[in-house]
Amino acid sequence: MTILGIETSCDECAAAIVDDGRIIRSNVIATQIPFHASYNGVVPEIASRKHTEWIDSVVQEALNRAGLEPSEIDAVAATAHPGLLGSLIVGMSFAKAFAWAKNKAFIAVDHILAHLYAAQLCRSVPDYPFLGLLVSGGHSIICRADDFDTVTVLGASIDDAVGEAFDKVAKHYSLGYPGGPAIDKLSHEGSSLAFAFPLPSLHKGEHRYDISYSGLKNAVINQLEQFKRTEDAYSKADIAASFQKTAVAILTRALFRAVEDTNIKVVVAGGGVAANSLLRSTLEGRTDIQCIFPSFELCTDNGAMVAGIAYHYLARGESSPLSASPSARVSSFRRNARPRP
């Protein structure tokens, strides 16, 4: 089954063609980073305008690279939630129009489930259940996956998402945009021991896997105020390395706790922050846990993960009605709840 997957939930205008949920025939990602960089963050109005301008040629390029005509596609999938509403509308409307015009099935996909699926593209992943670590600009979730769409949230950030913390720290210190890759790169030149930023204590009971980033983010930003007051010279690389060390420790401490409690020793990561080099080396350093990461290109937003997961709905005989509408938030993705397409 050959599926066209369209992803426009944020600032990447992406389309891909994937066979049978695994084999990537094309994966086109048109990044809007240069258009948002001067604002140090994604401007929703610019994002949706660029998607509107680009979507047609991005999809055409995905077809060209795969050497396919639109009629040779079996189904069209698009990200339906969560994301920026104006951006979601563009990709989803395009996908629905394509499906209607070519008489193909349409599948609405959840962005977070698609990120969790990304590691399964081009490689085999051990059978379910596994623990999922979904870390992006909008989410920090530790979950248990019993199937591609049966995911129980064990813990999540109670405030900022981890990617958001990277982006905000980078913005305050003018480290570059987007913040995650910039801090990751700069950290290699600094000392992670230079600053001891606070590691919040773990919660108890039902919230024992929840995490928090606002304390760390504020501490790093307050440190900048102190530098300004005292006019002390400081190394941006040391700040980056010290912040990154703590940010990764916050995630891994809660994740390792979940591994111990559930005795599930397979962890599948997804989302933009899964590209982080320290997170990868920390998890890979645990020889008792099998950690599976998507390739770097498949960590951040892409259409291949959308086409990939859509295959499994179709294989089960499920598709979405053309009346399906996008949603900025997914109300069904809650603790102990099963998110639905």
* Binding region for Zn ion (CB under 5 A): 136, 301
Instruction: Assess 276 for contact with ligand KG4 (CB under 6 A).
Output: yes
The count of chain residues that interact with ligand KG4, using the rule CB under 6 A, is: 19
Tell me how far, at minimum, the Cβ of 199 lies from ligand KG4, in Å: 18
Tell me how far, at minimum, the Cβ of 139 lies from ligand KG4, in Å: 7
CA–CA distance, 287 with 281 (Å, rounded to integer)? 11
Closest CA to 217 of 282, 281, 277, 163: 163
Tell me how far, at minimum, the Cβ of 214 lies from Zn ion, in Å: 21
Query: Which one of ligand KG4, Zn ion, none interacts with residue 275, CB within 5 to 8 A by kind?
Result: ligand KG4
Q: Among residue numbers 115 through 144, which ones bind ligand KG4 (CB under 6 A)?
A: 136-138
Contact 96, 320 (CB under 8 A): no
Q: Classify residue 203 by burial, with Cβ atoms within 10 Å: 0-12, 13-18, 19+.
A: middle
Given the complex with ligand KG4, which of 136 and 223 has the nearer CB atom? 136
- The bridge status of strand 150-156 relative to strand 140-147 is antiparallel
CA–CA distance, 323 with 261 (Å, rounded to integer)? 42
Q: Which of 131, 275, 292, 310 binds ligand KG4 (CB under 6 A)?
A: 275
- Which residues have CB under 8 Å from 132's CB, separation 6+? 116, 141, 142, 143, 144, 145, 151, 267, 268, 269, 270
The owner of tokens 């593209």 is 121
Closest CA to 86 of 200, 9, 21, 155: 9
CA–CA distance, 202 with 220 (Å, rounded to integer)? 20
Instruction: Assess 187 for contact with ligand KG4 (CB under 6 A).
Output: no
Closest CA to 48 of 16, 15, 3, 93: 93
Instruction: Assess 113 for contact with ligand KG4 (CB under 6 A).
Output: no
Instruction: Assess 326 for contact with ligand KG4 (CB under 6 A).
Output: no
Tell me how far, at minimum, the Cβ of 330 lies from ligand KG4, in Å: 13
Instruction: Assess 166 for contact with ligand KG4 (CB under 6 A).
Output: yes
Given the complex with ligand KG4, which of 96 and 111 has the nearer CB atom? 111
Q: What is the DSSP string of 247-308?
A: HHHHHHHHHHHHHHHH---EEEEESGGGG-HHHHHHHHT-TTSEEE---HHHHSS-SHHHHH
Query: Which one of Zn ion, ligand KG4, none interacts with residue 179, CB within 5 to 8 A by kind?
Result: ligand KG4
Tell me how far, at minimum, the Cβ of 271 lies from Zn ion, in Å: 6
Instruction: Assess 273 for contact with ligand KG4 (CB under 6 A).
Output: yes
Q: Which of 272, 294, 303, 341 binds ligand KG4 (CB under 6 A)?
A: 272
CA–CA distance, 138 with 222 (Å, rounded to integer)? 23
Q: Which of 167, 241, 268, 333 binds ligand KG4 (CB under 6 A)?
A: 167
Given the complex with ligand KG4, which of 276 and 319 has the nearer CB atom? 276
Which residues contact ligand KG4 by CB under 6 A? 10, 136-138, 163, 166-167, 178-181, 184, 271-273, 275-276, 300-301
